[in-house]
C-alpha cells in the first residue's frame, strides 16, 4: 500500500511534489500499488520512488525523472514516457505495451521479462540495459542506443532496428528473423546462434562481430561491412562475397548456396553445375550463359532472372518460381520443372526435350515450333498456350486446358 502522506502530496500537483522532493532528498517515496490512471505527471521527480505494482496506465510521464525507481510489475500500458529518465530503473515484468518511450533514457535499466507489445522505443538510450528474454517482436527501435545491451534469447522478430547502435551487444540465441537491421552498428556484437533468417542487414557494420552458427538464410547481405576479424561460417562469408563482388565466370560447382539471398547477383557464365541452390532467392539475378547442369534449384525464386542461353540440362527446378524469367535459348532438356511457375516467362527457342512439366503453370506460354514429343505435361496448366506447329505427345490432345484451336495447332 502507498504512503498516504506521499500520495496526498503528489495529488496536489507536480509543482508541489517536486518542491517537497527538493526539500526532502533523504526520503524515498512509497507509491506502491497506487492508482494514477490517466494522471498528468509530466516532469515529476519520481527518482528512487517505490512504484511497485502501481497503475500508471495512460499516465503522462514525459520528461519525468524515474531514475533508479522501482517499477517492477508496474502497469505502464499506453503511458507517455517520451524523454523520461529511466536510467537504472527496475522495470522487470512491467507492462509497457503501447507505451511511447521514444527518446527516453533507459541506461542500465532492468527490462527483463517486460511486455513491449507495440511499444515505441525509437531513439531511446538502452545502453547496458538488461533485456534478457524480452518480447520485442515488431518493435520500433530505430536509431536507439543498444550498445552493450544483453538481448540474449530475446524475440526481436520483425523489429525495426535500422540505424540502431548494437555495438558489443549480446544477441546470442536471439530471434531477429525478418528484422530490419539496415545501417545498424553491430560491431563487436555477439550474434552466435542467432536467428537472422530473412533479416535486412544492408549497410550494417558487422566488423569484429561473432556470427558463428548464426542462421542467415535469406538474409540481405548487400553492402554489409565484414572484417577479417568477423567470425562467420564459411558458407555465409562466400554468399556475402558473391552478393557484393559478383560471381561472373566463377567456378562454384557443387557449392552449397541453399536458402541464400542472391537477389540481383551477377552469375554470368559462372559454373554452378551440381550446386545446391534449393530455396535460394535468385530473383533478378543475371545467370546468362551460366552452367547449371544437374544443379538443385528446387523451390528457388528465379522471378525476373536472366537465364538466356543458360545450360539447365537435368537441373532440378521442381516448384521453382520462374515468373517473368527470361529463358531465351536456354537448355532445359531432361530438367525437372514439375509444379514450377512459368507464368510470364520468356521461352523463346528454349529446349524442352524430355523435360518433366507435370503440374507446371504454362498458361499463355508460346511453345510454338518445338519438338515436345517426349515432354511430360501431366496435370500442367496449358490455358491459352500456343502450340502452333509444335510436336507434342498423343495424350496431350486430351488435356482439358488446351485452347480450342488445338486441332490446327498441334502435330502429333
**Are 244 and 266 a contacting pair, CB within 8 Å?**
no
Give the C-alpha separation, 182 to 162, whole Å: 5
* DSSP 8-state symbol, 355: -
> How is 335-349 classified by DSSP, letter by letter?
-B-TT-B-TT-B-TT
Give the C-alpha separation, 130 to 108, whole Å: 7
Domains of the chain: 246-412 (2.160.20.80)
Look up cell 534469447; give the residue. Answer: 153
Give Cα separations from 319 to 272, 277, 288 (angstroms).
19, 13, 21
Give the C-alpha separation, 272 to 300, whole Å: 14
Count Cβ atoms below 10 Å from residue 323 Cβ, excluding itself.
18
pLDDT truncated to tens, each residue of the chain (412 aa)? 889 999 999 999 999 999 999 999 999 999 999 999 999 999 999 999 999 999 999 999 999 999 999 999 999 999 999 999 999 999 999 999 999 999 999 999 999 889 898 899 999 999 999 887 778 889 999 999 999 998 988 899 999 999 999 999 999 999 999 999 999 999 999 999 999 999 999 999 999 999 999 999 999 999 999 999 999 999 999 999 999 999 999 999 999 999 999 999 999 999 999 999 999 999 999 999 999 999 999 999 999 999 999 999 999 999 999 999 999 999 999 999 999 999 899 998 899 888 999 999 888 888 888 878 788 888 888 888 888 888 877 555 555 455 433 433 444 3
pTM above 0.75, yes or no: yes
State the DSSP H helix or E strand holding residue 10, giving kind and residue range, or none if neither.
Answer: helix 4-11
SS3 245: helix
Amino acid at each position: 500500500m502507498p504512503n498516504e502522506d506521499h500520495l496526498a502530496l503528489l495529488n496536489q500537483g507536480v509543482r508541489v511534489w517536486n518542491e517537497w522532493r527538493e526539500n526532502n532528498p533523504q526520503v524515498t517515496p512509497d507509491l506502491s500499488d497506487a492508482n494514477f490512471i490517466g494522471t498528468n505527471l509530466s516532469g515529476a521527480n519520481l527518482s528512487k520512488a517505490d512504484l511497485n505494482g502501481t497503475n500508471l496506465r495512460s499516465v503522462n510521464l514525459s520528461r519525468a525523472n524515474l531514475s533508479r525507481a522501482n517499477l517492477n510489475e508496474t502497469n505502464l500500458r499506453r503511458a507517455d514516457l517520451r524523454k523520461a529518465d529511466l536510467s537504472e530503473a527496475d522495470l522487470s515484468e512491467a507492462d509497457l505495451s503501447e507505451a511511447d518511450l521514444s527518446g527516453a533514457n533507459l541506461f542500465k535499466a532492468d527490462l527483463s521479462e517486460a511486455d513491449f507489445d507495440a511499444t515505441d522505443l525509437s531513439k531511446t538510450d538502452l545502453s547496458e540495459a538488461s533485456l534478457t528474454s524480452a518480447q520485442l517482436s515488431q518493435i520500433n527501435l530505430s536509431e536507439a542506443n543498444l550498445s552493450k545491451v544483453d538481448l540474449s534469447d530475446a524475440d526481436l522478430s520483425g523489429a525495426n532496428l535500422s540505424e540502431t547502435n548494437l555495438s558489443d551487444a549480446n544477441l546470442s540465441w536471439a530471434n531477429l528473423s525478418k528484422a530490419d537491421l539496415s545501417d545498424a552498428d553491430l560491431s563487436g556484437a555477439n550474434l552466435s546462434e542467432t536467428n537472422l533468417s530473412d533479416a535486412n542487414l544492408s549497410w550494417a557494420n558487422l566488423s569484429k562481430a561473432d556470427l558463428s552458427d548464426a542462421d542467415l538464410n535469406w538474409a540481405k547481405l548487400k553492402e554489409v561491412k565484414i572484417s577479417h576479424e568477423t567470425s562467420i561460417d564459411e558458407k555465409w562469408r562466400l554468399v556475402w562475397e558473391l552478393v557484393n563482388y559478383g560471381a561472373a565466370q566463377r567456378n562454384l560447382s557443387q557449392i552449397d548456396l541453399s536458402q541464400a539471398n542472391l537477389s540481383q547477383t551477377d552469375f554470368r557464365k559462372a559454373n554452378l553445375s551440381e550446386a545446391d541452390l534449393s530455396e535460394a532467392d535468385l530473383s533478378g539475378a543475371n545467370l546468362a550463359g551460366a552452367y547449371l547442369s544437374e544443379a538443385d534449384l528446387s523451390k528457388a525464386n528465379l522471378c525476373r532472372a536472366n537465364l538466356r542461353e543458360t545450360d539447365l540440362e537435368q537441373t532440378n527446378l521442381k516448384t521453382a518460381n520462374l515468373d517473368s524469367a527470361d529463358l531465351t535459348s536456354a537448355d532445359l532438356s531432361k530438367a525437372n520443372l514439375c509444379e514450377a511457375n512459368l507464368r510470364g516467362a520468356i521461352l523463346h527457342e528454349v529446349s524442352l526435350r524430355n523435360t518433366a512439366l507435370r503440374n507446371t503453370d504454362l498458361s499463355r506460354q508460346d511453345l510454338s515450333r518445338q519438338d515436345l514429343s517426349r515432354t511430360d505435361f501431366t496435370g500442367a496448366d496449358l490455358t491459352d498456350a500456343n502450340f502452333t506447329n509444335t510436336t507434342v505427345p498423343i495424350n496431350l490432345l486430351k488435356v482439358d486446358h488446351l485452347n480450342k484451336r488445338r486441332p490446327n495447332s498441334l502435330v502429333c
